[in-house]
Structure 1
Amino acid sequence: MAKRRIGEPKVPVGPEYDFFVLMQRHVLHQGDKALTVLAAESGWSRQTWHKALRGPALPNRDLVKALVEHLYAQDEGHAVQARMVADALAAWTRAMESRTSRERGQRRGSESGTEQAPRPIHREPALYAASAAGLQGQVITRILREAHERVGRPSVRTIAQRMPEDVRLGRTTIHEVLTGRRVPSLSRTLDLLAALENRPVSAREMDEAMQRAIIEMAGTVNRSV
């Protein structure tokens, strides 16, 4: 039976597209194994491999590093493996910066009313899985963890008591958010940030915090590549 192809990346042409093409090329050059075979060999699911090779969400940096290391694990020595990992991480960094810039432009256009009406803040799903959050999830987790440290690590009981009556979250959920196991929506992030700071926090403040976190994360990636 013919091997099923991965398919064209599900992202616009540009740095994000180039990243997924590079990841597919690594698979092709290392035996062009079926995703079921890669999953059996590596321990990561077929779906994880498929998303990392096609998108549309960008995989996290650590997963990219691990997948490429697996593909080149059988090469003699570590020089080839290290070079391929560095190339993949450099492409991932460019893709992340491109996506961040594009999403920031869309947000600005939305706020100015040139593309669509402003998005409602309190109509998003309450929570979604961290594995599906992509870059936005990483940024939100970073912001909430840093805020928790900055204000002296209040208990989850205290944070829960500070939540608005109509959007209270359970202590277990708050604990999972602070430990990175779950990622809140943007509206719940705003509520949690206000509860941590024990003061009203505007959507503009949160947007600025997200932009700072993205820039800091990109700088960390560039220094480590």
Structure 2
Amino acid sequence: MAPPAAMLAARGCLHWPQVASAAAIAALRSSCTTASKPGQRYACSSAFVTDALHVMQDIASACCEGARPVRAVLFDKTPGSNWFVPWHQDRTIAVQQRVELEGFGPWSVKDGMTHVEPPFAIMARMVTLRLHLDDCGPGNAPLHVAFGSHHSRVAADDAGRIAAGSEQMACVAQAGDVWAYATPIVHRSDRAVAPSRRRVLQVDFSPDQLAGGLAWLA
């Protein structure tokens, strides 16, 4: 079998079943707060994320040498908060402050945090891990991905066309599973048709230090 990094580079996603024990998942469930919006950001140094990294860091390192966590978001989809996100490619990173550098932009502020679109090479070296705290079957809005769509920058209005021309997969999971993704992979999230609690901790990892005075928000 090929090394995880090579498999991830080729397909754009990998599945690690039952990485976290039932006890570890129960502890993480009890320590996370109910998200007040579709995505609740956590500091990578928070106790919740630090505990989760005991499960996730080895996988991140296997997929990306030198990977360290740079952003963590809890997605908490419930019957009362059942959103839809169309096909898209993640294109921005969160940084501590705005510094004008060639190749970085446009800039935006989301929930009071500064974001910027970096050169694609930075995104291409990143890996995103999603640790499932609840079961996520076909009816509970698993992430859908378009294989091989992570090799180049995709315009926002072109993501649907790229996905339609690609092999697709619904990333179903059980509590304790981890899915790893090349961060730029084109993906979507449907509304659940049989909604129940679906908590997923998503952590972005990068091997890069930002240059020119830029620093990851982390």
TM range (shorter): under 0.3
User: TM-score, normalization: structure 2?
Assistant: 0.26
Compare the two structures and name the one with the higher helix fraction: 1
* Higher normalized strand content (fraction of residues): 2
